[in-house]
Amino acid sequence: MSQMTILTGPERRRRWSEEDQCRILAAAFAPGATVAAVARQYDVATSLIYKWRRTLRARETGFAEVVVVRDEPAAASVPAPPAVIELEIAGKVRLRIPLTTPPTLAAAMVKALGVS
Which contacts (CB < 8 Å, 24+ apart) does range 104-112 have? 112/66
What confidence score (pLDDT) does residue 48 get? 93
Mean pLDDT, 10 residues at a time, the chain of 116 residues:
71 82 91 92 92 80 59 61 71 78 81 68
Domain boundaries, the chain: 18-59, 63-116
pTM as predicted: 0.44
C-alpha distances in angstroms, 18 versus 9, 33, 48, 56?
26, 21, 13, 10
> What CA–CA distance (Å, rounded) separates 111 from 61?
19
Rg of the Cα trace of the chain? 23
What confidence score (pLDDT) does residue 7 get? 66
Q: Angle at CA 112, nearest 5°, toward 110 and 102?
A: 50
What confidence score (pLDDT) does residue 60 get? 67
